[in-house]
Structure 1
Amino acid sequence: MNRYRMRFAPNVWTPQLTPWLVNWLRPFRKRRQWSELRIKNVEVVGDAIVREQLDAGCGVLMMPNHSSHADPFTIYAAADLIGTALYVMATWHVFDGKPWLTQRLLRCHGCFSVDREANDIGAFRLATGILQQKKQPLVLFPEGEIYHCNDRVTPFRDGASAIAVAAARKSDRPIVCIPCAITYRYEEDPTPQLTETMGRLEEAIFWRRRSDRPLEKRIYHFAEALLAVKELEYFEQANSGPLPERIRSLSDHILRSVESRHEIDGGIGSVPERVKAARRAIIGKLENVESDSQVTTDLNNDLEDLFLVVQSFSYPGDYVKAKPSIERLAETLDKFEEDILKHPTASIKAERSVRLAFGSPVKVSADRKDKGQIARITGEVESAVQSMLDDGVKWRSQ
């Protein structure tokens, strides 16, 4: 997973969408899509659904899964086919530290920043205003992180649906949420590259390369070794039992310890929501202490613990074992490559194709009395995306 700097956003980047420039840069996006990501073909299913809602004058919120760093290119490839530019909410880390020209191009493509660790009212209002007024769709990734689990939706957060509901309550036009499922498949066999990556990972923990074993077993044994190291660190012993249970136990232990130290009401909400609440509290404290104090060291250690919780959350524990497809093997190794070898992004192993499917729009009610609407929309869209991902798995086998 990407290791972000855990602090409040140092700046705000607003969109400066320039549709003519977006159109002019289309060949350059396609060139980068191939040269950097090795994506040759993009198949779009249901693009007429989006076009129909735009033609009807609706405010459109696209809600895709987020399993790959290639997702923004894929979304824009679909937008090119539909004939529209986009607004895209992105974490502020996407902009921070980038050259001025890169920031400018992102903003011209409709990207704007959000501080996910704070109550970013500015980004919330900007997003609702786009849905109420702009003719282009807004894209939000409800999973929040790139988890490298393309076959499974990680639980959607409520933020995207909350923006849609807030927009609908003050909008003069209908607001709809459109489920979007992105599925990748390899067109070339990546096994040689995967085997080489596995070997480098084994050497990184002082193992010999276990070339005599099947790749899926090497991955599983490697994961067990990493988990045992962390269990020794936090429990002073390596536990036994199925990996999913051990991962959940370790994550819950760390999270509850951090919540207790900072007097946070723990156990409420999903793991990402609990981590977000804890991060917000810790970052707030860091803003008010001396940078070289022991308190700062302790707070930064707590942030590292929370990052480990999120890392652990991205490993279901049974993803490879349940179905050892080449894509699942590759995704797990991609995560190891980023987490263990410290690569900013995983290397691209072979040529790929991608299928992007849009589902039936979910209408958003303006009724203020409908208190359960946010959770209902989130669940409905998440279920639709998972169903389309299941169809995407079938598409892989064609």
Structure 2
Amino acid sequence: MNNQPYGIPEKHWPAKLTYWWYRAARPLRAKALRQQQIQSIEFEQLEHLQEALKSGLGVMITPNHSFHWDSYCLLNAADRLQVPFYVMTAWQVFSQSRWFERESMQRCGCFSVDRENTDIQSMKTALDILQRRREPLVVFPEGDIYHSNDRLTPLREGAAAIALMAARKSERPIAILPVAIKRWYLEDPTPSMCRTAEKMEMRLGWKAQSHLPMTDRILSIATQVLSEKETEILGQRQQGTLQQRIAFLTEEVLKRAEAKYLSGPPKKLIPERIKEIRRILIAQQVENADQAPFEKKKQWESDMQGMFLATQLYSYPGDYLTENPTWERQAETLDKLEEDFLGANYPTSHGRKTVRIRFGEPIVLPEGKQSKSLSTDHLTLDLQERIQAMLDLLNRNHGGLSIRDSRSNTHV
């Protein structure tokens, strides 16, 4: 997972959607996908989106967000329909990009959002798109990239809240389209994964564990990295399953921060608990930027890093790889470790891949005051269940590698 700056963004980056620029940037998007060795992108039930647009609905597209460049894969649907998409994008993406990259993102329909605070400008932009614009709005409700393509991470409520708010005062119907994006390898990625695993083993001071099956090799690395974090934070290595140890360390990091900064009970979902601590830290830094002593600033920095660690830990369910150790799950777990342990901005592309994108049936929201009959949490849960069901269906239809198939190719 990529570490990002958190604070008050220096500005808001509005969308400047320009059709000719969007078309001109198509070869650049295609080049980026080729560099990621994505050989083909197929669509299922794209007619759901096509019909919604023809009917004049305000459309929000809500895909899962499990790997870098999945947004570029989704934009192939925009190219096919010849209708650009607006995309709500974390402000950190703009802040860390060069001028031309920012300009190109804006002209291709991206606009910034501050996810840690109430971003009025971003909200107004989203409402305007849903209520008045021809083009659909893309919002990734998972928020972060967790590298777990088979298992959806609990969705944040922001996307549903925006859609319901738009429906209350819109002169046209508003619809949400759940979308599932799934990626598979076309060839055995094990040789490339072995090279990445060896880099991690060298960092740990180990000899290359090439005698181990790939799943066991990845788990050995992950367990050692976790043990070092436990020793650093808790003073000693913990007992229990990998899943239990990750959950315990995550909870301990959050409880320590919440004891410092919260006066009431914490929120339920871990991403929301992390978001709340970040929001408080940002507010304190802004209010006391000039008066705070050096030690206090270092404490804020340390606690903000603690929230990043909690996010990293949350991205490892603990049983994702062992449940079904396919090539894809092996590579995804290694991708996370490459970012978290080796500090890579982007993980290695381990081989040729194909992507399939399935569009679900639109959820047409109640209009006007009737929209109050549908709660944000109910709509969020409905979206989550639909996207997960589509991911499961894509996997069943694809007939992916079984556990035995995957393990049979793990020795190099």
For this structure pair, what is the TM-score category when the shorter chain's length is used for normalisation? over 0.9
Paired residue type of 1:387 = A
Paired residue type of 1:161 = A
Equivalent position SS for 2:122: helix
Moved more, 281-290 or 309-318: 281-290
Alignment RMSD:
1.4
Aligned equivalent of 2:356: 355
* Kept after mapping to 1: 8 A contact 2:225/2:341: no
Residue 367 of structure 1 and its aligned partner are, at CA, apart by 4.8
Alignment of 1:166-205 (within 5 A): 166-205=165-204
**Structure 1 residues not aligned, in runs of 5+:** none
Number of residue-to-residue matches in the alignment: 397
Give the Cα–Cα distance (whole angstroms) in 2 for the partners of residues 302 and 368 of structure 1.
42
* Kept after mapping to 1: 8 A contact 2:90/2:114: yes
Moved more, 203-212 or 45-54: 203-212
Aligned equivalent of 2:25: 25
Aligned equivalent of 2:392: 390
Sequence identity percentage: 37
Give the Cα–Cα distance (whole angstroms) in 2 for the partners of residues 222 and 343 of structure 1.
16
Aligned equivalent of 2:45: 46
Paired residue type of 1:32 = A
Aligned equivalent of 1:300: 301
* Kept after mapping to 2: 8 A contact 1:2/1:344: yes
Give the Cα–Cα distance (whole angstroms) in 1 for the partners of residues 18 and 151 of structure 2.
35
Give the Cα–Cα distance (whole angstroms) in 1 for the partners of residues 361 and 262 of structure 2.
43
Superposition TM-score, scaled by structure 2 size: 0.93
Residue 284 of structure 1 and its aligned partner are, at CA, apart by 1.2
* Kept after mapping to 2: 8 A contact 1:256/1:266: no
Give the Cα–Cα distance (whole angstroms) in 1 for the partners of residues 105 and 232 of structure 2.
41
Residue 131 of structure 1 and its aligned partner are, at CA, apart by 0.2
User: Given the alignment of the two structures, is residue 254 of structure 1 paired with residue 253 of structure 2, yes or no?
Assistant: yes
Paired residue type of 1:376 = H
Residue 317 of structure 1 and its aligned partner are, at CA, apart by 0.4
Alignment of 1:1-398 (within 5 A): 1-34=1-34, 36-287=35-286, 288-290=288-290, 293-368=294-369, 370=372, 372-397=374-399
Equivalent position SS for 1:95: helix
Equivalent position SS for 2:143: coil
Residue 26 of structure 1 and its aligned partner are, at CA, apart by 2.3
Give the Cα–Cα distance (whole angstroms) in 2 for the partners of residues 372 and 238 of structure 1.
46
Give the Cα–Cα distance (whole angstroms) in 2 for the partners of residues 306 and 152 of structure 1.
22
Q: Residue deviations 1:9-34, cap 9 Å, x none?
A: 11110000112322233233223221
Residue 95 of structure 1 and its aligned partner are, at CA, apart by 0.9
Give the Cα–Cα distance (whole angstroms) in 2 for the partners of residues 364 and 56 of structure 1.
14
Superposition TM-score, scaled by structure 1 size: 0.97
Moved more, 95-104 or 162-171: 95-104
Residue 312 of structure 1 and its aligned partner are, at CA, apart by 0.2
Shift in alpha-carbon separation, 1:264–1:154, aligned structure 2, 3 A: farther
Equivalent position SS for 1:126: helix
Give the Cα–Cα distance (whole angstroms) in 2 for the partners of residues 264 and 338 of structure 1.
34
Residue 93 of structure 1 and its aligned partner are, at CA, apart by 1.2
* Kept after mapping to 2: 8 A contact 1:47/1:82: no
Paired residue type of 1:338 = E
Give the Cα–Cα distance (whole angstroms) in 2 for the partners of residues 25 and 293 of structure 1.
46
Moved more, 83-92 or 386-395: 386-395
Give the Cα–Cα distance (whole angstroms) in 1 for the partners of residues 264 and 368 of structure 2.
31
Give the Cα–Cα distance (whole angstroms) in 1 for the partners of residues 222 and 268 of structure 2.
27
Moved more, 286-295 or 252-261: 286-295
Q: Residue deviations 1:322-359, cap 9 Å, x none?
A: 00000000000000011111111111111111000000
* Kept after mapping to 2: 8 A contact 1:50/1:82: no
Residue 224 of structure 1 and its aligned partner are, at CA, apart by 1.4
Equivalent position SS for 1:212: coil
Give the Cα–Cα distance (whole angstroms) in 2 for the partners of residues 320 and 32 of structure 1.
28
Paired residue type of 1:223 = A
Q: Residue deviations 1:107-145, cap 9 Å, x none?
A: 111000001111111111110111000000000000000
Residue 300 of structure 1 and its aligned partner are, at CA, apart by 0.6
Residue 189 of structure 1 and its aligned partner are, at CA, apart by 1.6
Residue 162 of structure 1 and its aligned partner are, at CA, apart by 0.4
* Kept after mapping to 1: 8 A contact 2:4/2:92: yes
Give the Cα–Cα distance (whole angstroms) in 2 for the partners of residues 320 and 237 of structure 1.
25
Give the Cα–Cα distance (whole angstroms) in 1 for the partners of residues 132 and 51 of structure 2.
17
* Kept after mapping to 2: 8 A contact 1:362/1:377: no
Residue 269 of structure 1 and its aligned partner are, at CA, apart by 2.4
Equivalent position SS for 1:104: helix
Give the Cα–Cα distance (whole angstroms) in 2 for the partners of residues 68 and 285 of structure 1.
33
Q: Residue deviations 1:160-216, cap 9 Å, x none?
A: 000000000010000000000000011122110001101111111112111111110
